[in-house]
């Protein structure tokens, strides 16, 4: 007989489990980071700093109110890395794995909860998928850690222990799109180092694509016709955003002496590509974001809002949502009654979800920007950047994170939480049951526009 974990039995909707799981992880992380042993000074970090850092780690964001290496001890840094790992894999993925290890069986309710977290379309393969997911994540992190460790060891003269620590920490952060670094300038000191930048960018791209997409690409990489709609949209939109972002940053910042202007041509191309990858939720920066032109900030805002793959470690409304929204708009402009993507029709329920997620995201960003503007003396473009970064769990900042005050930190924490679990997931978690309508009202045409 299948075993259902006791804590899952208390919830009537899988989305509630996801939201509660992330909340519990943030609470545990806050408690651990509040301990004196977690800081280099041996004093408690305070609940605001601990809460913000824990939420940023679990929600794989990377925004920080203190210098990670200077403020947190090795214990604190390991806690942050652990929280990022848990957040990247997903609370429900980890819970499902633990259930398998303890009981060897997986109950129906646990499968449903895992399905809600991993975004799989069939519950029958959840058990096998979770095991593959964890194994794939660890393999990718080990490969990235090995490459980074080798570079720190050979190219920068670090000791073996220090190189292993730096390589492992940043591999976890890169693959899980967390964005925490052990340097105060993020990765600006490595702006022209392709070994480090491309390794971190590659790990962030793979983690951000989403596990179902990566598995499908590995299985049918020679047969694109067998790709599902999700895989096609994710791959195509991701490629378009990476290429477009790189070109826009190259054109915009080419002559900016405080960013790309000081680099040679190959360095400019590498830095522009890296800067285009990071807003997809990775959170690292090799250029000084505070010195970028406002037009580059706006481009970054758009990329952060879109985010990465639907079942990946990235945040935002997701590239699949953005891609399907484009098809919905195109079908409406052409006067078509159905939305088709390739040789498949997009269900009306999915169309409503796409529009709902986009509108909720825009509304949340607009309201939060207004509130943060009222709480701080910063400019609109700076505040908007900070809000979108928190909502998209991107972790990039123009440098105002530490100065928004306790109320601003709480607001950004809430944004990171909502951005990680998704507006629609949070909404469904609050609604215990879907209301069934047993009748239909007469239809009336309404003038729009």
What string of DSSP letters covers 63-110?
--SS-HHHHB-HHHHHHHHHHHHHHHH-HHHHHHHHHHHHHS---HHH
- The contacts of residue 32 (CB under 8 Å, 6+ apart) are 38, 54, 79
Count Cβ atoms below 10 Å from residue 24 Cβ, excluding itself. 13
| pTM, rounded to two decimals | 0.88
State the Cα–Cα distance between residues 209 and 201, nearest whole angstrom.
12
Question: So what's the pLDDT on residue 15?
Answer: 64
449 residues of the chain, pLDDT tens digit each: 444 555 445 555 556 777 788 889 999 999 999 999 999 999 998 899 999 999 999 998 999 999 999 999 999 999 999 999 988 887 556 545 544 444 455 565 555 555 555 555 455 556 676 777 888 889 999 999 999 999 999 999 999 999 999 999 999 999 998 989 999 999 999 999 999 999 999 999 998 887 778 888 888 888 888 888 888 888 999 999 999 999 999 999 999 999 999 999 999 999 999 999 999 888 899 999 999 999 999 999 999 999 988 777 778 888 988 999 999 999 989 888 888 887 788 888 788 888 888 999 999 999 999 999 999 999 999 999 999 999 999 999 999 999 999 999 999 999 999 888 876 565 555 444 456 667 788 888 787 77
Q: Which residues is 344 bridged to in the sheet?
A: 341
- Predicted pLDDT of residue 148: 97
Two structure tokens written together for 193? 């180092």
Q: Which residue has the tokens 């978690």?
A: 429
Distance (Å, whole) CA 12 – CA 431: 10
Residue holding tokens 């794939």? 136
SS3 265: helix
Query: Is the four-CA dihedral 112, 118, 120, 126 of positive or negative sign?
Result: negative
Residue 432 pLDDT: 46
pLDDT value of position 117: 58
Report how far residue 25's alpha carbon sits from residue 85's, in angstroms, rounded to the nearest whole number: 11
Cβ atoms of 249 and 28 within 8 Å: the answer is no
**pLDDT (0 to 100) of residue 1:** 45
The predicted structure's pLDDT at residue 5: 52
- Residue 271 contacts by C-beta under 8 Å, 6 or more apart in sequence? 191, 192, 197, 249, 259, 260, 263, 286, 287
d(CA 296, CA 240): 17
Strands (E), 299-422: 340-341, 344-345
Phi-psi group of 307: left, alpha or beta (phi > 0 → left; psi -120 to 50 → alpha; rest → beta): left
Cα separation of 198 and 187, whole Å? 12
Structure tokens at 283: 């959170």
Query: Which DSSP letter does residue 263 get?
Result: S
Helix (H) or strand (E) holding 374: helix 348-375
Can you give the pLDDT at residue 427? 53
Report the C-alpha gap between 396 and 280 in whole angstroms: 10
Question: Which pLDDT belongs to residue 2?
Answer: 47
The pair phi, psi for residue 340, each rounded to 5°, is -115, 135
pLDDT at residue number 424: 57
Cα–Cα dist 337/83, whole Å: 46
**Tokens of residue 363, six digits:** 């509304």
Cα separation of the two ends of the chain:
57
DSSP 37-49: GGBSSSS---HHH
Pair 342, 229: CB distance under 8 Å: yes
Give the per-residue pLDDT at 99.
47
């Amino acid at each position: 007989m299948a075993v259902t974990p006791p804590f899952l039995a208390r919830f009537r909707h899988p989305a509630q489990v996801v939201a509660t799981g992330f909340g519990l992880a943030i609470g545990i992380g806050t408690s651990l980071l509040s301990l004196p042993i977690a800081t280099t000074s041996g004093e408690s970090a305070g609940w605001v700093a601990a809460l913000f850092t824990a939420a940023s780690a679990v929600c794989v964001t990377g925004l920080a109110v203190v210098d990670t290496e200077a403020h947190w001890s090795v214990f604190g840094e390991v806690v942050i890395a652990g929280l990022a790992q848990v957040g990247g894999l997903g609370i429900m993925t980890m819970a499902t794995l633990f259930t398998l290890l303890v009981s060897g069986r997986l109950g129906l309710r646990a499968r449903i909860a895992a399905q809600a977290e991993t975004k799989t379309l069939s519950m029958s393969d959840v058990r096998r998928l979770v095991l593959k997911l964890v194994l794939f994540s660890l393999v990718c992190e080990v490969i990235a850690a090995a490459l980074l460790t080798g570079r720190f060891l050979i190219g920068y003269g670090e000791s073996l222990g220090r190189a292993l620590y730096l390589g492992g920490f940043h591999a976890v952060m890169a693959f899980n799109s967390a964005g925490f670094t052990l340097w105060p300038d993020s990765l600006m000191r490595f702006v022209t180092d392709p070994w480090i930048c491309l390794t971190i960018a590659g790990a962030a791209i793979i983690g951000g694509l989403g596990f179902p997409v990566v598995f499908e690409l590995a299985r049918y990489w020679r047969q694109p016709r067998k790709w599902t709609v999700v895989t096609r949209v994710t791959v195509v939109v991701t490629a378009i955003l990476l290429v477009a972002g790189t070109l826009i940053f190259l054109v915009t910042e080419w002559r900016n002496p405080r960013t790309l202007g000081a680099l040679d041509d190959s360095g400019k191309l590498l830095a522009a590509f890296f800067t285009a990858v990071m807003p997809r939720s990775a959170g690292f920066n090799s250029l000084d974001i505070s010195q970028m032109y406002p037009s580059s900030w706006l481009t970054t805002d758009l990329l952060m809002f879109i985010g990465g793959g639907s079942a990946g470690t990235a945040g935002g409304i997701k590239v699949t949502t953005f891609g399907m929204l484009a098809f919905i708009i195109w079908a409406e402009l052409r006067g078509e009654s159905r939305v088709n993507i390739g040789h498949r029709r997009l269900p009306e329920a999915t169309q409503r979800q796409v529009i709902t997620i986009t509108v909720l995201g825009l509304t949340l960003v607009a309201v939060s920007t207004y509130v943060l503007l009222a709480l701080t003396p910063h400019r609109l473009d700076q505040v908007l950047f900070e809000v979108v970064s928190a909502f998209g769990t991107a972790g990039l900042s123009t440098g105002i994170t530490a100065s928004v005050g306790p109320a601003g930190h709480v607001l950004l924490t809430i944004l990171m939480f909502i951005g990680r679990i998704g507006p629609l997931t949070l909404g469904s978690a609050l609604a215990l049951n879907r209301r069934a309508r047993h009748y239909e009202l007469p239809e009336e045409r309404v003038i729009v526009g």
